[in-house]
């Protein structure tokens, strides 16, 4: 009797629509060079779970389907999946982010090589046709775009980072869901406490970005408020006021950092930087204003809005891109 291959990596994927909404990601996971060591956990409501074609999951080492009453946020589903995972390394996955064929192997090897708290892949633009997509991508992922070599970083790519499961659970405990919303605050906290995060340039994911301008502006504001509210949750009044008053300067500080990552003419050309610059600046101001509101008023009721942009990504990309990627 032959034994089953050892599970080394669990990918956790929220499914908001029917099975078609996650098929591109499932295909990318099933094409992994070490798919026999890969477990997939799909988190979905009972109604949506009924649409899953289990036959399309057969090439993976294992899979689980977790049925929930509702998916109020991505962090809710990811936290449920992390607790149920059977592999020692867990990775957050998205229905609009498609890993390269060596992704699973690279993440597994990187975690085995050192005591990293987290390992992030590089991130490429999965729908590079429009300036709006590039503006959204650069605001969200420029830190992880086309890195020259593997390096330790202060934060990994949101919703696409892998973790040592036991360390993550030990650090976050019952607060796991809150810690994942947003991840950047978790990463900054962990690195400040001496934990190491690796950006591994040896693999990447192709991330589909918002390409409708009004949605891009809305998500920039919502993302800023979520980040600001979470970051300032335990600050005193003086520190909160100081950071909130600095918000008009933040877009220019972030633009300077962005240019630091786009450090070659080729990177700037490929990213359509000059053509996208007006949209980049508007998005930076929307995010900075949202961040200031978050500092002063907390997260408030913005999470459902932010979650809508994240979990219903096909609704916020151009029709041609939607048809090309999801077939509808």
Helix (H, G, I), strand (E, B) or coil at 28: helix
The span from the CA of 159 to the CA of 183, in Å, is 8
Q: What is the pLDDT, as a whole number, of residue 41?
A: 98
Task: Please write the tens of the pLDDT for every residue from 41-72.
Answer: 999 999 999 999 999 999 999 999 999 999 99
For residue 2, is pLDDT > 80? Answer: no
Angle between helices 131-141 and 273-297 (to 10 degrees): 50
Burial environment of residue 305 by CB neighbours within 10 A (0 to 12, 13 to 18, 19 or more): middle
The span from the CA of 212 to the CA of 80, in Å, is 31
For residue 328, is pLDDT > 80? Answer: no
Contact between 224 and 288 (Cβ < 8 Å):
yes
Q: Where are the domains of the chain?
A: 9-126+143-207, 213-326
Q: What is the mean pLDDT of residues 140-147?
A: 96
Task: Please write the tens of the pLDDT for every residue from 224-274.
Answer: 999 999 999 999 999 999 999 999 999 999 999 999 999 999 999 999 999
Residue 63: other Cβ atoms inside 10 A: 20
The label of the residue with tokens 């972030």 reads 254
Angle between helices 213-231 and 183-192 (to 10 degrees): 40
Taking CA atoms, 167 is separated from 39, 79, 181, 318, in Å, by 19, 14, 18, 40
9-126+143-207 CATH, one of 3.90.550.10, 2.60.40.1180, 3.30.420.40, 3.40.50.300: 3.90.550.10
Task: Please write the tens of the pLDDT for every residue from 103-142.
Answer: 999 999 999 998 999 999 999 999 999 999 999 999 999 9
């Amino acid at each position: 009797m032959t034994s089953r291959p050892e599970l080394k990596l669990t990918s956790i994927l929220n499914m908001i629509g029917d099975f078609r909404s996650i098929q591109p990601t499932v295909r990318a996971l099933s094409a992994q060079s070490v798919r026999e060591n890969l477990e997939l956990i799909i988190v979905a409501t009972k109604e949506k779970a009924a649409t899953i074609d289990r036959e399309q999951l057969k090439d993976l080492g294992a899979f689980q389907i977790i049925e929930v009453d509702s998916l109020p946020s991505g962090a809710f589903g990811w936290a449920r999946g992390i607790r149920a995972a059977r592999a020692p390394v867990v990775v957050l996955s998205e229905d609009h982010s498609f890993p390269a064929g060596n992704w699973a192997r690279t993440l597994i090897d990187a975690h085995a090589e050192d005591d990293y708290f987290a390992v992030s892949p590089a991130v490429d633009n999965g729908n590079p046709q429009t300036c709006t997509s590039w503006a959204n991508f650069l605001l969200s992922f420029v830190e992880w775009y086309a890195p020259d070599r593997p390096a330790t970083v202060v934060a990994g790519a949101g919703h696409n980072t892998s973790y040592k499961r036991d360390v993550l659970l030990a650090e976050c405990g019952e607060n796991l869901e809150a810690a994942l919303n947003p991840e950047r605050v978790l990463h900054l906290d962990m690195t400040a406490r001496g934990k190491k995060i690796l950006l591994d340039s040896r693999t990447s994911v192709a991330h589909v970005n918002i390409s409708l301008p009004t949605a891009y502006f809305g998500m920039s504001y919502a993302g800023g408020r979520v980040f600001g509210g979470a970051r300032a949750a335990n600050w005193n009044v003086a520190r909160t006021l100081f950071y909130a008053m600095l918000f008009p300067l933040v877009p220019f500080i972030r633009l300077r950092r962005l240019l630091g990552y786009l450090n070659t003419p080729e990177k700037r050309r490929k990213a359509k930087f000059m053509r996208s610059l007006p949209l980049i600046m508007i998005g930076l101001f929307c995010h900075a204003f949202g961040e200031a509101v978050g500092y002063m008023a907390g997260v408030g009721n913005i999470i459902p809005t932010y979650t809508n942009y994240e979990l219903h990504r096909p609704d916020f990309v151009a029709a041609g891109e939607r048809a090309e990627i999801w077939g509808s």
